[in-house]
Chains A and B, each alone.
Chain A
Amino acid sequence: MKKLLLGNEALAQGAIDAGLSGVYAYPGTPSTEITEYIQKSKIAQELKIHSSWSVNEKTAMEAALGMSYAGKKSMVVMKHVGLNVAADVFMNMSVSGINGGLVVVVADDPSMHSSQNEQDSRYYGKFAMIPILEPSNQQECYDITKYAFELSEELGLPVLIRMVTRLSHSRAGVITGKRMAQNTVQLPKISTQFQLIPMHARGRYQHLVDIQPDMLEISENSAFNIFYQGANKTIGIIASGIAYNYLMENFEDGNCPFPVLKISQYPLPKEPIKVLFDTCEKILVLEDGYPFIEEAISDFLGENRKIIGRLSGNIPRVGELNPDNIANALGFDIVINENLPKVVMGRPPQLCVGCGHNDLFNAINALKNESATQQVFGDIGCSALGVLSPYESINTLIEMGSSITMAKGASDAGIHPAIAVIGDSTFTHSGMTGLLDAIIENTPITVIISDNSAIAMTGAQDSAASGRLISICKGLGMEEDHLKVITPLHKNLQENIDVIREEINYKGVSVIIAQRPCVQLPKEKKDKLKEYTNVSIN
């Protein structure tokens, strides 16, 4: 029977049915529902599949590698920028290889619906020299994930599955198959495999290079790379992943007259691309994200104008694909009957009614009026909404954890007051190490941890920081005199302004924990939080 599943859910079910023993992840749009599906799955609970959230993507990937080392099948899931955090282990585990099947799932966000860039994870896959799979629809999300675990164990390498927002967050009917058995514990056969000291790493890297031709052969014979013949050779089309759907949308009942190579597995299959190149007048490359394929098969000096796509300007260089920009590239007319009426105003996201960040920003803004030099370094999460009107409290927003370290660098350069605002989960994700830098030098910065005890933006998942912030800060070496707790409520505004002002005036590092539970948390969780919010610092 068909089940109606999000692309993310189909992928998760595919992993369970592949014999998964553990999923490791940190929430991030558009990847979050993959792990949540496994957390809620009854079968996953019966099979004791590990699915608790990790502190960040690096710890998640390392734990997945540890489970693979022990012989079991594991998966690690993140959004595209999360792979930057995990890049160290990602690049090195392709050299060590894996033991139990290991699948890395990365959800890219073309058009930056919920992200700060639209980096294309296929470059990482190529960089690490491992196979990449790119499903085009929900059924393929399921099928490809099961296949990914087989492929991983066959090659002894991690396999990357690349998702995009529109596939992650779209539902369709999916037919599921039988479930494979989980692996038992079995240590690696070669004792030196995971010991990447140079003398062993050189051998492993040579092995990785040596099996590249095998990977290419597998890709050229893959059931997920399909060559569709077409009589009209004026143009040959390469469509990867979800681009294939947008292409077919432009033809009645999917009857495309042109030859089409649908690509869902990499390394790029050379043979069919060569056939397309030799038999067609032009090649149109359709891919969501960066011009990865187009660049790989284009002539570097640009003397051969046969290949068109994003680089040639036939498809916009930035932003996600859709049926319309592909229709344009094919020279089809788009009939738009109506334009967007002028009366329609933008409606950007905003903080929920009753959100504690609101009252914190009000306090920070009051202090902005006292010091023209005040700079506020922000961070990822709901608190990032402080960039927007009506607050406009935050001057910078770059990536997870950067608030504290940028404040430190700016302070070193002479900026005062230098205030960092970071959410509780972002702090444990990658703010703690930066705070240690500041503590070691006693840098005059004021760190405000806006603690709503949730990973709020992605749906109020459990935060690793809950109940631990004070002990973490003390453990890192924070002086008790400059470790303060406030409650960001309107009635406390003046008191909170006074606390922040006092810490700004202190010529050393201060941490203010602004504690108020996320309004999206269920009541049971809020009640549980009361147990620790009343704990005093001393």
Chain B
Amino acid sequence: MHSKINIILAGVGGQGILTIAAVLDTAALDNNLNVKQSEVHGMSQRGGAVQSHVRISDKPIYSDLIPQGKADMIISVEPMELLRYLPFLKKDGYLITDSNPFENIKDYPELETLYNEIKSHKNHILIDAMKIAKDLGNSKATNIVLLGAASSLIPLSDESFQKAIATLFERKGERIVAKNLEAYLKGKEIAAELVS
């Protein structure tokens, strides 16, 4: 099977998109696939819009950046940030996002307008990932809930995702590993319900 996927991760500095990227990278390497993953450091990190391009393929990957119109999906921790990268989305590509706004600007748009824009896309998963994470007792795992929600659309095995989460959170102890695995599975479950 030819495995190839272009994913854009979006959010605001500090929302944990690099953790999603790290799980994807680790899982892809575990599957002996090539990875390129660009990220933002420096000035824009401070409360500004941040993005990461993750490219996974069984063939050599040239560009660190995804060309416009070539992203298979956008995973976002914030609804307006999701829409910022729409020019990168390919036809009928997937939008996966948390519904909670991060309002640190004066002219933040009406939420309903944002939701309507997202819902006008055939393939979207709009969930309150933050609430799901809180209900599981770990509000910091919002990002992992979203990754779980996207996971079945990514050509990497469920086992490799779980292994990657366990590896990356190992340092923080067993309890945190378990909480994040739970968040991942819950995201996966909810997305399955939405998509079916």
Bound form: Cα–Cα A198–B24 in Å: 59
Closest to A246 in B: B63
**Are B68 and A336 in touch, CB under 8 angstroms?**
yes
Q: How far is the CB of A316 from chain B (nearest CB, A)?
A: 15
Q: How far is the CB of A315 from chain B (nearest CB, A)?
A: 15
Closest to A32 in B: B41
On chain A, the residues within 8 Å of B48 by CB distance are 347-350
Q: How far is the CB of B144 from chain A (nearest CB, A)?
A: 19
On chain A, the residues within 8 Å of B104 by CB distance are 347, 350
Chain A interface size band reads 35 or more
**Are A171 and B37 in touch, CB under 8 angstroms?**
yes
Q: A170-B36, A246-B62 are in contact. Are A337 and B42 (CB under 8 A)?
A: no
Closest to A254 in B: B62
Bound form: Cα–Cα A342–B13 in Å: 22
On chain B, the residues within 8 Å of A190 by CB distance are none
B34 at interface by CB-CB < 8 Å: yes
Q: A167-B64, A322-B65, A343-B117 are in contact. Are A349 and B47 (CB under 8 A)?
A: yes
State how many residues of chain B have any CB contact under 8 Å with chain A.
49
**Are A349 and B105 in touch, CB under 8 angstroms?**
no
Tell me which residues from 84 to 112 in chain B have a Cβ below 8 Å from any Cβ of chain A.
Answer: 84, 86-87, 89-91, 104-109
**Are B44 and A248 in touch, CB under 8 angstroms?**
no
Q: A4-B29, A171-B35, A343-B83 are in contact. Are A349 and B62 (CB under 8 A)?
A: no
A226 at interface by CB-CB < 8 Å: no
On chain A, the residues within 8 Å of B35 by CB distance are 4, 171-173
Closest to B117 in A: A341
B189 at interface by CB-CB < 8 Å: no
On chain A, the residues within 8 Å of B36 by CB distance are 170-172
Closest to B45 in A: A349
Q: Taking beta carbons and an 8 Å cutoff, which residues of A are in contact with B?
A: 2, 4, 29-30, 32-33, 113-114, 166-167, 169-173, 242, 244-249, 253-254, 322-324, 327, 334-341, 343-352, 382, 385, 389-390, 457-459
Inter-chain pairs besides A32-B41, A337-B89, 5 sampled, C-beta below 8 Å: A32-B42, A173-B34, A335-B91, A346-B105, A347-B12
4 nearest CB pairs, A to B: A29-B42, A114-B42, A349-B48, A249-B63
Sample 13 A-B pairs with CB under 8 A, ordered by A number. Answer: A4-B35, A33-B41, A114-B42, A170-B37, A171-B35, A171-B36, A171-B39, A246-B62, A246-B63, A246-B65, A249-B63, A334-B67, A346-B105
